[in-house]
Structure 1
Amino acid sequence: MDETLKPVRIPPHMSIYADKHNLSHLVQSLVSSLVVDRPDDPISYLVDLLQRSRVDIPRVMLLGPPAVGKHTLAKRLSAELKAVHVTMEGLLEDQSELRALTEQVTQDVPADLLVQLVQQRLKEVDCLQEGWVLEGIPQTRLQVLLLQQVGIIPDHVVMLEAPEEVLLQRAQGRLLDSLTGAQRLERGRGLSEEQLLAELQRYRCEVTGLRSAYQHVLGVINADQPHTDVYHQALALVQTRHYSRTPRILLLGPPGSGKSLQARLLSENYKMVNVCCGQLLRSAAADGSGPGALVQPYLDDGRPVPDSVVLRVLEERLSRVDCSCRGWVLHGFPLNLQQARSLQETQNQPNRVFLLEAPDHVCLERLSLRTVDPLSGERYHTVTRPAPSAEVQARLQTAPEDRLEEVTQRLNQYRVHCAALQSVYPDVIHINANQNHLSVFEALESRLTTN
């Protein structure tokens, strides 16, 4: 083959290094700061920025209606995260006229001035080095847009919710903890019931815009529960890290758990390359070049392809430019401890491993009851998709690998090796595959880019 026509390959260790040091997030953060601040000397600016700040510091916004418990929670979170607690009162310490105004109606502070005060505070050394928890700001969609324009974008937004009657009781200082009998929160700002209702109405008018603006980093927590529970839920949320990295996903699970279907859904929705080991070996054998030439004799004789040959074919495929740039989802390999260890020794280690779990009787039903129409190629299932007519039913055939004895043997082999496979991947994420395939996909999606 002409060398200029060979598939371009990117060394996999480049992606591994980028993932390890979270370079995508670092570059995005630096470029964002550049275009927002527009310094005259970009190089000196970046050097100074890298020396003064850290990429992994907490950047948290805590939102919610009045009397929902934002201040109490923000104090605990900032103490636990060792971050700076930024409040409206703190921002207005040297703004006597505005401070007098906010004691009556916080929302009347001009949005541009409020954003300017927030920007000045978050650029101070303590916030740059330790991170920040911003309490009760922003309060409107306009404030959100202005904050975004100056480059203030949180990693997490925690929104507290509680019924109106609970908020009214808290504001009046009458709400007791049902477990301890103690008053749950401190007395509020002394607003009358009429003033509180007015603030609640203003919040309701803005909350949809706030949710929409921060939907990708938003976590909503029910605040009408013991404060300790609220705190632990909020802490778990803000300690979750979202990573921008090239996906290298490995799907494990028994035959019939839905690995092929989930791999196809991931590939369609996230444009990653779907790598089915069995299909890859057949394609390589049909191509007949490179390591594929070694595969065909084994397929012809019905013998298992040696692990060394499988790994050569896999490495060749996973190092192509589409896998390096778009990422990949691998299924059908590894099947045992030795294969898993061999894969870990290559430059194509997965950065996310999912184990689809389903009981044997479910897997048996899914596989042994499926058939194919030899004329149309359509697949049917006795329970979930029966043949449309008696004529079609009469000609349906069961694939050799779907016969009951074969499926049972494959399941037994999987169970023998399952524990050993998990020992190679201690961070494997367990997914309940005994449910609707869309629910399984949602569970996979929720853990793709988080720790």
Structure 2
Amino acid sequence: MACCVNYISPPRASLSPPPSRSSFSFSGDAVHSLLRRHSRSPSIVAPRFQVVAAEKAEPPLKIMISGAPASGKGTQCELITRKYGLVHISAGDLLRAEIASGSGNGKLAKEYMEKGQLVPDEIVVMMVKDRLSQTDSQQNGWLLDGYPRSSSQATALKGFGFQPDLFIVLEVPEDILIERVVGRRLDPVTGKIYHLKYSPPETEEIAARLTQRFDDTEEKASPI
């Protein structure tokens, strides 16, 4: 752990004037190495170090973000994860990945989806819990995208010890949401999302292969 120390110069007149009393950061191993190196030289008296405070590392940031489809979660998640170095965890992507990998939770989820049923909360919660528990999430912090969506899901995550430092809710007027949704297109080759008005494809070749997702309609975007 890094520490903040006071440097006290050795009391020898033969040495050049020491620096003024100051504080600086160092590692414990570096200090021991310095002391050993100085002690082997008969012409130098090893300096003394006095620890005055220990610097506590800030815990990794934990964020949850929520918003309606086309509210801009993808853009905000990209900006936030890039700035803070967080692990971006999307519940939807996680569900698809678990199914593709054939994990136990993935197989259970696939059974429900093949029957046209919603995947039970307890299955998705376990997927999210397992991902949040992985080393990269614990060390770097995480940004949980689009989850939880209900109080029961939030309560379940809290029961496992996962609680955010910050919960972001993106609020966008309904008419703008509808415009964003109906103009949104997917590139099936790269997975990139375009918008016919705000973010059109770079080439005619890309434009020709774009598809519209089944739920990117005004009916799906409008609140019930």
Question: Is TM-score (shorter-chain normalized) higher than 0.5?
Answer: yes
**1:345 match:** 159
Closer/same/farther in 2, CA of residues 269 and 304 from structure 1, 3 Å limit: same
Secondary structure of the structure 2 residue equivalent to 1:380: strand
Q: What residue number does 2:149 align with? A: 335
Report if aligned partners of 1:400, 1:406 keep a CA contact under 8 Å in 2.
no
The within-5 A match list for 1:428-447 is: none
Identity of aligned residues (%): 32
Residue 296 in 1 paired to residue 120 in 2?
Answer: no
Q: Tell me by how many angstroms 1:264 deviates.
A: 2.2
Larger relative strand fraction: 2
Secondary structure in 1 aligned to 2:88?
strand
Equivalence for 1:404 = 218
Tell me: CA distance 1:244–1:377, structure 2 relative to 1, closer, same or farther (3 Å).
closer
Instruction: Give the structure-2-normalised TM-score.
Output: 0.69
Aligned residues: 184
After TM superposition, list the pairs within 5 Å mapping 1:3-402 onto structure 2.
31-33=3-5, 36-37=6-7, 149-150=22-23, 244-374=58-188, 379-387=193-201, 396-402=210-216
Q: Aligned residue for 1:129?
A: none
CA distance in 1: counterparts of 2:116 and 2:106, whole angstroms: 16
Structure with higher Rg: it is 1
1:388, 1:322 → 2: CA distance?
34
Alignment TM-score, normalising by the size of structure 1: 0.37
How well do the aligned residues superpose, as a CA RMSD in angstroms? 3.0
> Aligned to 1:384, what secondary structure does the other structure show?
coil
User: In structure 1, how many angstroms separate the alpha carbons of the residues matched to 2:112 and 2:8?
Assistant: 62
User: Quick one: higher RCO (CA 8 Å, sep 6+), 1 or 2?
Assistant: 2
Once the two structures are TM-superposed, the CA of residue 244 in structure 1 deviates from its matched residue by 2.1
Mapped to 2, the partners of 1:261 and 1:366 lie a distance apart of 13
The unaligned stretches of length 5 or more in structure 1 are 1-26, 40-114, 120-148, 152-242, 414-451
Which ranges of structure 2 fall in alignment gaps of 5 or more residues?
A: 10-18, 25-56
Q: Distance between the aligned counterparts of 2:167 and 2:191, measured in 1?
A: 33
Structure 1 residues 385 and 344: CA distance shift in structure 2, 3 A: same
Assess if the C-alpha contact under 8 Å between 2:67 and 2:146 holds in 1: no
Match of 1:358, SS state, is: coil
Aligned to 1:429: none
Q: 1:396 to 1:345 in 2, by over 3 A?
A: same
Secondary structure of residue in 1 paired with 2:215: helix
Question: Which has the larger displacement, 316-325 or 349-358?
Answer: 349-358
Tell me the distance in 2 between the aligned counterparts of 1:38 and 1:281: 58
| Alpha-carbon spacing, 1:314–1:38, altered in 2? closer, same or farther (3 Å) | farther
SS at match of 2:163: coil
In the TM superposition, residue 282 of structure 1 has moved relative to its aligned partner by 0.8
By percentage of residues, which structure has more helix? 1
Q: Which amino acid aligns with 2:134?
A: R
